[in-house]
Amino acid sequence: MKGILLAGGTGSRLAPLTHVTNKHLLPVYNKPMIFYPLQTLLDAGITEIMIVSGPDHLGDLTELLGSGAAWQAHFTYRVQDTAGGIAQAIGLAADFAAGEPIAVILGDSIFEDNFKEAVQGFQSGARIFLKEVSDPERFGVPTLDGEKVLKITEKPSQPDSSFAQTGLYLYDQRVFDIIKNLKPSGRGELEVTDLSNWYIEQGDMDAAFLTGFWRDAGTFESLLQASQLVREKCLKQ
């Protein structure tokens, strides 16, 4: 399985911190934010990783991360010229994936859980990871029947559950053909929620519920919470 780490976007919710730097280079406790999702992929046994970002800050990311040799991995970089959504960014990795399944992780996602077993056991379809949160309206929210996901709704004003679709997704090779046929949302973007719903409609979606902490570090409050959680974990080790 190959990994795709998405580190684009304007980071507007974290302005003015992001006026001159990429959001994913901001500190979370004692490391740059992007180190955490990168380590999540590495801990899952994924060492072939494409990093996707906008044109303004890709140079900063390559200077920080390099070729991947320091991580005993291999990094490939790709520019997302316009902010066309998560699904659009995933689509840029079609040639890189070369027919293999992919693990997509958002660059602001801080996970405590280890996903090695989930990655190694993945064969086909799609898998998402859900976490109960206090503010589900900020995320893609699942409608659940027990532990079965019936649909995902993006940023609903009246959430059907208190769970969020977190920033890690496993997809088989069909994902790139699906992206080609997606229509932009009202925001003008290709939504990752639409990818999830396609797999749900085909009966090929599996959902797992996380036990450890997860923060998206995309707002001032969640960035602070992520730093505090990481600090607490470090102090316990």
Task: Count how many residues are written for the chain.
Answer: 237
87, 192 contact by CB (below 8 A): yes
CB 193 within 8 A of CB 153: yes
**pLDDT tens-digit readout, 80-131:** 988 889 999 999 999 999 999 999 999 999 999 999 999 999 999 999 999 9
Does residue 11 surpass a pLDDT of 80?
no
Predicted TM-score (pTM) of this structure: 0.95
Find, among 35, 170, 71, the residue nearest to 116 by Cα.
170
More confident: 33 or 234: 33
pLDDT confidence bin for 226, thresholds 50/70/90:
very high
What tens digit of pLDDT does each residue of 163-203 get?
999 999 999 999 999 999 999 888 888 899 999 999 999 99
Gap between the Cα atoms of 167 and 45, Å rounded: 18
pLDDT at 237 over 80: no
> What is the overall mean pLDDT for the chain?
93
**What's the whole-number mean pLDDT along residues 202-211?**
94
User: Tens of pLDDT along 53-80?
Assistant: 999 889 999 999 999 999 999 999 999 9
Q: List domains and CATH numbers for the chain.
A: 2-128+167-208 (3.90.550.10)
Structure tokens of 217?
């570090």
Residue reference for tokens 């077993």: 117
The structure tokens 């040639």 sit at 95
**For the chain, where are the E strands, in sequence order?**
2-6, 27-28, 31-32, 48-53, 74-79, 102-106, 110-111, 126-132, 140-145, 148-154, 163-171, 205-209, 214-215
